[in-house]
Every structure is written in structure tokens, then in C-alpha cells.
Structure 1
Amino acid sequence: MNISRTLQAGLLALAMTGTAALAAAPAAHPPHFAIAGARFELDGKPFVIRSGDMHYPRIPRAAWRARLRMARAMGLNTVTTYAFWFQHEPEPGQWDFSGQNDLRTFIKTAAEEGLNVVLRPGPYVCAEVDFGGFPAWLLRTPGLRVRSMDARYLAASARYFKRLAQEVGDLQSSRGGPILMLQLENEYGSFGRDHDYLRAVRAQMRAAGFDAPLFTSDGAAGRLFEGGTLADVPAVVNFGGGADDAKGSIEELAAWRKQGPRMAGEYWAGWFDHWGEQHHNQSPEEAARTVDWMLAQGVSFNLYMFHGGTSFGWLAGANYSGTEPYQPDTTSYDYDAALDEAGRPTPKYFALREVIAKHVKEALPSVPAAPQPQALPAFALQPAGSLLARLDVLSEAQSSRWIRPMEAFGQNYGYILYRKRLDAPAKGQLVLNELHDQATVLADGRVIGRLDRRRGENTLAVDLPAGTQIDLLVEAMGRIGFGAKLVDDNKGITRSVALDKEELEGWTVYPLPMDAAALKRLPAGASGDMTAPGFWRGTLTLDKPADTFLDTRGWGKGQVWVNGRHLGRFWRIGPQQTLYLPASWLKAGKNDVLVFTTEPPTATTMQGLAGPVYETP
């Protein structure tokens, strides 16, 4: 009995001690970042996201910090970026997070400059990049369908998420890092309505270790929300235009999702360019009024783009419309953004800064000194050999009974040449069925025609004797990255070549990815007919490296490499007539410039300009 009473007293004392301890314990810490009803919270306090998109592969690595510092000085507290699967896994199981692809360093640098990060890891990103950010090697598997429940595709995307999380998973807000939240897929409502697919992507992200808050992002229409969102994932809305468009879009979002944050996931404060069309502009005043309205309403926003940069190398993608079968994107991704292609603040930058300063309590940092691109003297370029004279050093010939697309030969980007010697005279219509994207047709080394997918061209009248060597040089100008046609935009000639309705067989194929290893094999000196596609080489001699814009007027159509760095495509049809060349890719002394042209140039020199030129002849 006494023992029982003693035990009861002890248990009571223990219980009281525990209760006191619980009362004295501090309340649980709120998560670093949370989505709470219609608002965001940072460390438990209401938080309005003031963000702008910047894409690390489109900005020279040496300029990352300066461009991020410009974002902070404009009044942004966050930067948004996609993660680009095709840059990080150029071949299956081969990973690249170095140099321009060092996403981890980009995110950590943003944090060091006082900026949070919103990460949009895909697997699909759009962003006017080739194939919407998917690796081209996915197209080597016949019938594989991206953005679907295709098990082959999902196995590849699961591997990608797992590797990406190993790179940046510890930088999430759920672990105290700068990555506030992550986007689930990207504008899926503009593509499909398969919620099982969205749930599968979410499951892959979570399994990989992405445990920060998720959100979806779609255009301002009920049907797009319905297709692109999940009921238990917060949604944001994308739109362009002015303050009235912002109001209507946010109201559309609020009507669709009664609970959830009010945010412009993309406010299109500019637009991108297609080859052969006009350069796009949006007034600084309209952009500023729209941001002013959003901040006055407590609406979070992400400027698409704050700084567009450059689609270096083979980054640029393409689109299509009801009236235009194919619309390749320009190399410049200036986007008429607040920060121009070279990283200079524009009138739009200062108009937005003034508006943001009006709505925030803290004083904004001073605007850093802007880059100063310089005009550089003209330098000569000399013939460095026609393509046909250099084929053997650039490519290994492969035999193929049938015409097949580029991907069937293990090639992702660049050019591909199909060769056949005629057994009999050929007179009639030469038809390149499903040409993707532009073909230069040569007979015995002489150009006899050009066909352009943009204009729906695929037929050329020919009259050729027996024994003629036909060469079909096809340029891949960027895979479609938006809409239903993105799923199978293979490159090269993707169906057949026929002469008067009879399919031609027996081809020799030369893949021409124009990669660094191949270009290093180019011998010195001129060789072959330089009125046909070919190479030109020059030396740009500098006392000191400086940002500049190479003037490509007079050079027709082609590509430029400087010191082995691929600047991208140029084309006389505009609107882009210059190529941005960053100082960090140059050196004091001699700089090697290599130009490949598919149209004979009328110039023999190039020069650097202090700014870009936009002209559509």
C-alpha cells in the first residue's frame, strides 16, 4: 500500500515535471519558407516574391555575379531559373555540371548576393531552347513520347531528377537553403491533361530528394489550369501585356483556385525573336505600371525575363503556329529585358527599379557600374576550305539504304550530309519529304538550290545526267520546344527522298555535329570551291579583352566560333545582325575566329560593335 502511494506520487511528480518542461520549451520553429493560404511566408513572416528569370547557360559564367548583383540593385529579392536537362546529360548517363552548366555555383552565388532562388527543374522547360530542354538522344528511341506515361521516358526523367538532386538538393529551403520552391513540370496545361503524368513527375521529384514546396505554372485560362495543375499543388499564372492583363489573369487564378498564393509565375516583360521576323519591344512604362499594380495588390511576380542573355551554341529552339509551319529562334535571347544581352541596365530597368523602391521599406543597393562593350577594328577572314573538301576530317561516312534522321546516326545537333551518285539521268521533281530544317542541294559540288522548312519548301526541279553526285546538306535549326509537335521533331530528312515519286535508296551519310573535337582537325589553308558551304578563318588581335558584338552583315548564314567557343547562328534575314562576344571568352593577343557559311559571303572582314544591330531586310 505504501509502495503504491509512493509510486503514484512519483508518477505525479514526473508528470508535473514533464508538463512544466513542455510549457517552458520554445515553440517549434516555422519552416524557412512556406505557402500559407494566399500568401508566402519566409521565416514565419509574410513574404512577397519579387523575382526575375536568369538562365545560367545563357550568361557567361564570369558574369554571373555581376548580373545577379544588378538584379538585387533593381529591387528583386529572388531569381528564377530552369535547370536544363539537355545541358546536364548530353548523352545517356554522362553528366555535366561544370563551367556554364554549374547550377550549384549559380545558386550559391545568388544567395551570396542576397537573392533567393526559385528552381524550375523540368523535365520540360520550354524557354525557347532546343526540344524544350529535353536531351535530343531521347529521339533515338523510335516511338518514345516525352511528357507522357511512356515507361522509357519516365525511366530517363527519374534518373535525371536523382542526379540533379544530388547536385542541389541540400540548397532547398526545406534544409535552410536559398531554393524557396520548385516548379512541377512547366505549363503542362498548354500541352496535355494527363494528371497521372503530373503525379508521376511529382513522385519522381520527391523520391529524388526534392522536398521543398512545389507549384505549377500555366497561362491564364481555366482549361489550362484544369490540364496543368493538381488539386493539392499551389498554382501560379503566366501572362503578358499591361496592368489590366495582370488584373484579369490574377482574378482568373483566384476564381480557379480559391486558396493559394497570388503570383505571376511569368510576367512577360518582353518577348523573343524568330529569324525573319521583327525584333520585339515592350515599353518600359507598360512594364512598370504592371509591376506597380502587382505590388500594390501584394501579388508576387517573376519577370520573364529579367536578363535573357544569349542562346550560345546549339541552345536555340523553335516554334510553329497555325500560319507558320516552323519558326526558328534567334541566337540572341535579349528578350527586350530589363538587363540587355550584354548585362547593361536599360530604361526598363530604371523604370522598374523606381516602382519597386516605392513599395519596399529598405533602401535598394546602388546600381553597379555597367559593362561597356566596345567597337573593335575590322579583321580579315581567309578561306579555310569548302565543306566538301573537309568532309573526311570532320566526319566518318556511314552507309544507309534509306534516308534516316540525324538522331538515327547518334547525332544531336549541327548539320548532316546525305550523298548519292545517280545511276541514271534524273529529270523531274526532287522531293525531300519532312525536311528538318534547311537543305543546301549540290550537284557535283555546285549549289543548285536551297529549301527552307519555314516556307514549306521541300521540292526542287532537277535535270541531271547519270553519274552526278548529289549532296544534300541539311541544317538543324532548333527543335520545336512548345506545343504538340515537340514530341517528334527529329532533324535531318526525317522520311524519304524521292525523284518523280520514286524513293531513292543507297546513301552515304556524313554526320556533322561541328563539335570541338571535329573542328580541331580542320587543316590550315584553302581548298575547294568557296562559293559552296565552307569555312573561313581570321585572327582578332586585342591589347585587352572587351565585350563586343560581332557584325555578321555580309556573311550570309552560318555559325561562329571564337577560341573554340561556339557563339551561335547568324543569318542575313535578321532581325539579329550581330553576335554577342563576351570579354571572358577573349584574351590579350591573338584570338582565333572560325566561321562556317552555307551561303557565299559578300564580305571578307568582320568587326566588333559597341551594341547589337536589329534589322529585318
Structure 2
Amino acid sequence: MKSFSLILGLLFMTSVSAQEIQMSETASLEQIYGEVQEAQELLPMNELGIEFGYALYETTVTAGEKNPVLALENVRDYASVYVDGRLQGWITEEKKTIALQMSAGEHTLQLYAENIGRITYGPEILDNSKGLFGSITLSGTEIENWKMIPLAVRECSVGELTFTPQANGGIPCFYKGLFTVETPAETYLDVSGWGMGEVWVNGHYAGSYWEQNAQQSIQLPADILQKGTNSLIVFELKSNGKRIMRLSDKAIFN
């Protein structure tokens, strides 16, 4: 009997660790947009009614030269940068400038910001503004006329999102894939190679990930898994072309 149980356990571990999850559908972020606010200057998240989470800062810019430099005064705590729907990179409080790969002329600039925590440490500990605020320039010229949109990522009911066959065009969105489980048991979701985001399994929030963290897996308790088909939904802030996740029988570390 012991041998039979051991063989069964090994079979489960093998099937889990070998299983790839193809993220074959996407859902647009427009479905979770909050109230759009407009202003000449960037507004911090607390002025957008956001205590934690995500916001989209969007505007139209006119570049006077090829590959201009974007510079921000305050980035709290992280933002991915897109031009015309193409990922350019990311900015943080330690890295507040980025050279944009774009031609001279008019372009759409989108900054998807995340407030990682409520308290700002260091010299600004008494200023707990989050998001993007203060001066923002493109090759030294101030950028104005912003649309700012709260993104209800963690607050949304992922089961009510409308998914379609993958055609998100490379911008941040929700991804969906299916996987099978023979016997529900604790396992891990390998998120290595992805950027930054959130994970739900069968409608249950499972956790968040960031490529700079040491641990590159999310623990999936047995009680959120079900025998047969399971659904995996992922919100990805840095849409970097990844379309596959994997299950693992052990935690993954950098």
C-alpha cells in the first residue's frame, strides 16, 4: 500500500511539474476602468481615490526628435512605459528616466503605475503620496494634459471578465489559460520569465509576482484546486511576449 501511494504521489508530481499552461485568451483592462480624471499635471494616486493598486496615466506627446528621453520627478513605486502600445521599459524611484524608442512626431504615451505599499520610507517618509506626480518632461519639455484612470485589478471579479482569443496587441491585460489536475494537492505556479502582476486560480486570488523578487513561484494550496479542469487568470503589467506558465512540484527561486 505504501508503494502504491508513493507511485501515485510521484505520478502527480511528474504530471504537475511537466504541465505547461498555454495562456490562450485575453481580457482588456477597459473592463475594469474606474472614473477617468483629467488634469494638466500628473496627480498622485491618493487624489485619484486609490489607496493601493494600479492606475493608467495617458496622454499624447509630440516628439521633436528621434528617441527622446522621458524624465519624471516622482515615481512611487513602479511604472511600465508604453508608446503606441509598445513596451519601452519601466521606471522606479531609483530610475526615473528612460530613452523612448520612437520617431519624431505625435505618439500616445501610457504609464501603467503600481503603488506597491502605503508608506514611503527614506527622506520622503512624511509624504505618502503614491503613483506619478510632479514634473514630467520629454527631452526637457514639460508634458501636460493627462488622462488618469484607476484600474480595479484586485477588486474586480475575474470570473465576470470577457475573454477572447488572444489579440491584446502587447499592452497590459488579463490572460487566461486552463490546466488539469488529477488529484488536488499543494503545488506551485512557476512565474519566471514574466514581469509583474497578479494571479487567480478558479476565481480565488493566489498572489502577486515581480521578476525582481527572489522567489519566482506562487504557492497554490490544494483547496483552491479541483479535480479535472482548472482556470488560471493572470494580470500582467509588462506585456513582454510571454504566453506560457508552468506548474511545479517545488518553489522556484532566482
Asked if Structure 1 and Structure 2 have the same fold, meaning a TM-score greater than 0.5 normalized by the shorter chain, the answer is yes
Is contact 1:432-1:459 (8 Å) kept? yes
Closer, same or farther: CA 544–488 of 1 in aligned 2, 3 Å: farther
Shift of 1:548: 1.3
2:58 to 391, 395, 419: 419
2:87 to 447, 450, 455: 447
Structure 1, residues 262-310: CA drift from partner, whole Å, max 9, x if none? xxxxxxxxxxxxxxxxxxxxxxxxxxxxxxxxxxxxxxxxxxxxxxxxx
Shift of 1:594: 0.7
Q: Which letter does structure 2 place at the counterpart of 1:394?
A: I
Is contact 2:73-2:134 (8 Å) kept? yes
Take 1:416 and 1:501, find their aligned partners in 2: how far apart are those partners? 24
Take 1:518 and 1:405, find their aligned partners in 2: how far apart are those partners? 26
1:436 to 47, 54, 76: 76
Closer, same or farther: CA 547–602 of 1 in aligned 2, 3 Å: same
> Which position in structure 2 is the counterpart of 1:490?
129
Take 2:141 and 2:150, find their aligned partners in 1: how far apart are those partners? 25
Unaligned runs of 5+ in 1: 1-371
Structure 1, residues 589-611: CA drift from partner, whole Å, max 9, x if none? 322211122142546231132x3
SS in 2 for 1:607: strand
2:32 paired with 1:394: yes
Structure 1, residues 135-167: CA drift from partner, whole Å, max 9, x if none? xxxxxxxxxxxxxxxxxxxxxxxxxxxxxxxxx
Q: CA RMSD in A?
A: 2.7
1:577 to 216, 239, 243: 216
Structure 1, residues 526-572: CA drift from partner, whole Å, max 9, x if none? 22213x43332112322332111211123233221112222222233
Question: After superposition, where does 1:78-117 map in structure 2 within 5 Å?
Answer: none
Closer, same or farther: CA 600–425 of 1 in aligned 2, 3 Å: closer
Take 2:214 and 2:57, find their aligned partners in 1: how far apart are those partners? 30
Q: Which letter does structure 2 place at the counterpart of 1:555?
A: W
Shift of 1:395: 0.1
Take 1:551 and 1:516, find their aligned partners in 2: how far apart are those partners? 24
> Which position in structure 2 is the counterpart of 1:561?
200
2:26 paired with 1:385: yes
Per residue, is there more strand in 1 or in 2? 2
SS in 2 for 1:584: helix
**TM-score normalised by L of structure 2:** 0.79
Moved over 6 A (4+): 481-484
Take 1:481 and 1:490, find their aligned partners in 2: how far apart are those partners? 8
Shift of 1:481: 7.0
2:144 paired with 1:505: yes
Closer, same or farther: CA 447–563 of 1 in aligned 2, 3 Å: same
SS in 2 for 1:439: strand
Closer, same or farther: CA 425–379 of 1 in aligned 2, 3 Å: closer
> Which position in structure 2 is the counterpart of 1:459?
97
Is contact 1:434-1:494 (8 Å) kept? yes
Shift of 1:420: 0.5
> Which position in structure 2 is the counterpart of 1:528?
168
Q: Which letter does structure 2 place at the counterpart of 1:580?
A: Q
- Greater length-normalized contact order (CA 8 Å, ≥ 6 residues apart): 2
Is contact 1:382-1:538 (8 Å) kept? yes
Take 2:157 and 2:73, find their aligned partners in 1: how far apart are those partners? 29
> Which position in structure 1 is the counterpart of 2:228?
589
Closer, same or farther: CA 383–545 of 1 in aligned 2, 3 Å: same
Is contact 1:381-1:536 (8 Å) kept? no
Closer, same or farther: CA 411–450 of 1 in aligned 2, 3 Å: same
Q: Which letter does structure 2 place at the counterpart of 1:566?
A: Y
SS in 1 for 2:19: strand
1:604 to 244, 248, 253: 244
Closer, same or farther: CA 569–426 of 1 in aligned 2, 3 Å: farther
Take 2:158 and 2:125, find their aligned partners in 1: how far apart are those partners? 30
Take 1:565 and 1:488, find their aligned partners in 2: how far apart are those partners? 34
Take 1:590 and 1:412, find their aligned partners in 2: how far apart are those partners? 36
Shift of 1:511: 1.0
Structure 1, residues 426-461: CA drift from partner, whole Å, max 9, x if none? 4443212110122221111112232233xx111123
Q: Which letter does structure 1 place at the counterpart of 2:247?
A: Q
Is contact 1:554-1:601 (8 Å) kept? no
2:156 paired with 1:517: yes
Is contact 2:115-2:130 (8 Å) kept? yes
Q: Which letter does structure 2 place at the counterpart of 1:385?
A: T
2:124 paired with 1:470: no
Take 2:39 and 2:201, find their aligned partners in 1: how far apart are those partners? 35
Question: After superposition, where does 1:255-294 map in structure 2 within 5 Å?
Answer: none
SS in 2 for 1:517: coil
Shift of 1:471: 0.7
Q: Which letter does structure 2 place at the counterpart of 1:572?
A: E
Identity across aligned pairs (percent)?
A: 29
Closer, same or farther: CA 400–595 of 1 in aligned 2, 3 Å: same
1:551 to 162, 166, 190: 190
Is contact 2:29-2:174 (8 Å) kept? no
Closer, same or farther: CA 603–383 of 1 in aligned 2, 3 Å: closer
Take 2:55 and 2:73, find their aligned partners in 1: how far apart are those partners? 15
Take 1:528 and 1:603, find their aligned partners in 2: how far apart are those partners? 12
Q: Which letter does structure 1 place at the counterpart of 2:78?
A: Q
Is contact 1:403-1:493 (8 Å) kept? yes
Closer, same or farther: CA 507–483 of 1 in aligned 2, 3 Å: closer
> Which position in structure 2 is the counterpart of 1:273?
none
